[in-house]
């Protein structure tokens, strides 16, 4: 499936969006810290079997506004999401956020969930003030970005993502240079300074949480704390996947969505 692309004026910036047209209700996918929208294409194509799917380039990544002078904090990115939903004129949208994208979705929903039907939070970092640090190292991101800026291929990217397919490695190598280093640093620092736990308590719309069984991001104690903060959150684990769940267990990712959303991706793939 070939997506259509477009640029939308949001919150004083340009936001680039890919659309994978599907038959159902709208779904807006918000990627993680160094994932331009195009790198989620293999997931969006399958999502489009059920949903009219949009994938966003978060500011400082892909084809959205970037460069010095922009605010790359969580609040600014959350406001981008809210104004994007308004600009797209979609109602009752499912917002699926991975990692940093899940934190963006949480903050945006606390501020204004009027056009959102539900959130799907995929392995969001639960670090924050006074909490254990996020398990990934900032240097892992920055080293690969600097190599991508110089020019790298799939073979060079394999050192950072050894289990990925050749196509996935090539796409990341092609697009990683669009991740503006100060934006990545700001987001990573925000993992440790922004408190999303207080936001989780305030969420009033339906929320589903997908946890990577081998990611090390959300541990059993974290899952219990989230359940105590907001008992209405539905949770499932993808046992054999690391933090990049669809890359590690593509079918497991969609089977988890079936559990959380009542969809039938697993049956449609059979």
- Catalytic, out of 45, 174, 219, 225: 219
Q: Give 262's Cβ-side CA count (13 Å radius).
A: 2
Catalytic residue check, 219: yes
Tell me how crowded residue 221 is: count the other CB atoms within 10 A of its CB: 10
- Catalytic, out of 64, 82, 127, 243: 243
The encoded tokens of residue 176 equal 């990683």
Catalytic residue check, 223: no
- Catalytic, out of 35, 99, 127, 144: 99
Catalytic residue check, 99: yes
Residues noted as catalytic: 99, 219, 243
């Amino acid at each position: 499936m070939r997506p259509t692309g477009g640029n939308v004026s949001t919150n004083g910036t340009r936001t680039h969006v890919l659309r994978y047209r599907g038959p159902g209700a709208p779904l807006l996918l918000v990627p993680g810290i160094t994932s331009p929208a195009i790198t989620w294409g293999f997931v969006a194509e399958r999502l489009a079997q059920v949903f009219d799917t949009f994938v966003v380039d978060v500011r400082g990544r892909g084809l959205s506004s970037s460069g010095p002078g922009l605010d790359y904090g969580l609040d600014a990115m959350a406001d981008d999401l809210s104004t994007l939903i308004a600009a797209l004129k979609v109602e009752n949208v499912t917002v699926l956020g991975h990692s940093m994208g899940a934190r963006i979705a949480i903050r945006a929903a606390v501020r204004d969930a009027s056009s959102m039907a539900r959130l799907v939070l995929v392995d969001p970092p639960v670090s924050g003030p006074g909490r254990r640090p996020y398990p990934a190292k900032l240097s892992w991101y920055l080293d690969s970005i600097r190599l991508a800026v110089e020019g790298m291929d799939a073979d060079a990217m394999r050192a950072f993502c050894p289990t990925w397919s050749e196509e996935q490695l090539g796409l990341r190598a092609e697009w990683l240079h669009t991740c503006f280093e100060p934006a990545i640093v700001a987001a990573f620092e925000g993992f440790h300074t922004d408190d999303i736990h207080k936001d989780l308590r305030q969420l009033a719309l339906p929320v589903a949480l997908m946890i990577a069984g081998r990611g090390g991001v959300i541990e059993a104690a974290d899952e219990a704390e989230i359940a105590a903060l907001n008992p209405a959150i539905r949770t499932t684990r993808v046992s054999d996947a690391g933090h990049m769940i669809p890359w590690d267990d593509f079918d497991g990712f969609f089977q988890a969505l079936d559990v959380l959303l009542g969809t039938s991706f697993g049956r449609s793939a059979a």
